[in-house]
Amino acid sequence: MEHMLQSETKFIADIYPGILSSDAEAKLNYLLSALESMDARTASELERINMSSCDEDLKEFVTQQILADHAARRLPLDEAVEDLRAQFRATIADDSD
């Protein structure tokens, strides 16, 4: 559940203000915020499961289901973030030529 934090995106935007357009920066910030929220919600669900008095086998089953669902929901957002990062890297490469 790792991703670049919004503060890191802001840092990149400050260093290369002309490279990361405000539209791309807004999209990236939105995506990273959504990922952060999803991760926090999943962590909360997992903590609740771990603290419950349910059978360990049931806990393991539910935990695996939560993680699988989380990964499936997260994948499109991760791909969109990587697309924006690729555009950013391509722009940097073009500017350095």
In a domain, 16, yes or no: no
Is 51 within the bounds of a domain?
yes
Distance CA 5, CA 34 (A): 11
pLDDT for res 45 = 96
**pLDDT band, residue 97 (cuts 50/70/90):** low
Q: From CA 7, how far away is CA 11, in angstroms rounded? A: 6
Confidence of residue 1 (pLDDT cuts 50, 70, 90): very low
Query: Structural domain tally of the chain?
Result: 1
**Residue 50 maps to a domain:** yes
Residue 89: domain span: 21-96
Structure tokens, 45: 């669900």
Residue 85 covered by a domain:
yes
Residue 90 lies in a domain: yes
CA dist list (Å): 4 to 30, 34, 66, 81: 12, 12, 22, 9
C-beta of residue 84 within 8 angstroms of C-beta of residue 31 = yes
In a domain, 2, yes or no: no
Higher pLDDT, 37 or 87: 37
Residue 35 lies inside a defined structural domain of this protein: yes
pTM beyond cutoff 0.85:
no
Token readout for 54 is 């349910």
